[in-house]
Copies of this chain bind each other. A is one copy, B any other.
Amino acid sequence: MGRATAPDPMTSAEALLRTAAAAGIDVCFANPGTTEMPLVAALDAVPDVRAVLGLFEGVCTGAADGYGRMTGRPALTLLHLGPGFANGIANLHNAQRARSPVVNLIGDQTSWHLEHDAPLTSDIESLARPVSGWLRTSSSAQAVPGDFAEAVAAATGPPGSVASLILPADHQQGAVDGPHAVAPATTRPRTSERSVASAAEALGGSVRGPTSGVTLLLGGSALSVRGQRAAARIRRARGARLLAETFPARWERGGDLPTIDRLPYFPQQVQELLATDSHVIVAGAREPIAFFGYEGVPSQLVEAERLLELASPGEDAEAALEELADRLGPDARANADEAPADGASTTGAPEGALDPAKVGAVLAAGLPENAIVMDEAATTGLPFYFAAAPRHTLLSLTGGAIGQGLPCATGAAIACPDRKVIAFQADGSGMYTLQSLWTQARESLDIVTLLCSNRAYRILQVELGRAGVWAPGPVARDLTELDRPELDWVALARGCGVPGERVETAEALARALTRALAEPGPHLIEMML
Interface 9-mer from A49-57, A195-203, A383-391, A410-418: A49-57
Taking a contact as CB atoms closer than 8 A, the residue among B34, B93, B124 that contacts A463 in the complex is B34
* Residue A458, interface by CB 8 Å: no
CB contacts (< 8 Å) of A484 on chain B: these are 442
- How many copies of the chain does the oligomer comprise? 2
Number of interface residues of A (CB under 8 A): 99
CB contacts (< 8 Å) of A432 on chain B: these are 55-56, 87, 435
- Measured CB to CB, the closest approach of chain B to A188, in angstroms, equals 21
- The CA of A260 and the CA of B120, in the complex, are separated in Å by 25
Check B292–A44 contact: CB distance below 8 A.
Answer: no
- Measured CB to CB, the closest approach of chain B to A349, in angstroms, equals 31
CB contacts (< 8 Å) of A126 on chain B: these are 126-127, 129-130
* Residue A1, interface by CB 8 Å: no
CB contacts (< 8 Å) of A292 on chain B: these are 34-35, 109-110, 113, 118, 120, 169
With A112-B299, A118-B292, A293-B110 known to touch, is A90 a contact of B97 (CB < 8 Å)? no
Interface 9-mer from A138-146, A306-314, A487-495: A487-495
Check A122–B130 contact: CB distance below 8 A.
Answer: yes
* Residue A86, interface by CB 8 Å: yes
Check B89–A90 contact: CB distance below 8 A.
Answer: no
CB contacts (< 8 Å) of A434 on chain B: these are 434
CB contacts (< 8 Å) of A300 on chain B: these are 116
**Could you mark each residue 477-492 of chain A with 1 if its beta carbon is under 8 Å from any beta carbon of chain B, else 0?**
0110010111111111
Check B131–A41 contact: CB distance below 8 A.
Answer: no
Instruction: List residues of A (416-437) whose CB comes within 8 Å of B's CBs.
Output: 428, 431-432, 434-435
Sample of 11 more A-B contacts, CB < 8 Å, known A86-B90, A86-B127, A116-B290: A32-B479, A35-B292, A43-B476, A44-B475, A56-B432, A87-B403, A89-B127, A110-B294, A118-B293, A170-B293, A492-B492
* Residue A178, interface by CB 8 Å: no
CB contacts (< 8 Å) of A489 on chain B: these are 495
Instruction: List residues of A (102-132) whose CB comes within 8 Å of B's CBs.
Output: 109-110, 112-113, 115-120, 122-124, 126-127, 129-131
Instruction: List residues of A (56-98) whose CB comes within 8 Å of B's CBs.
Output: 56, 58, 82-84, 86-87, 89-90, 93-94, 97
With A485-B438, A489-B495 known to touch, is A55 a contact of B428 (CB < 8 Å)? yes
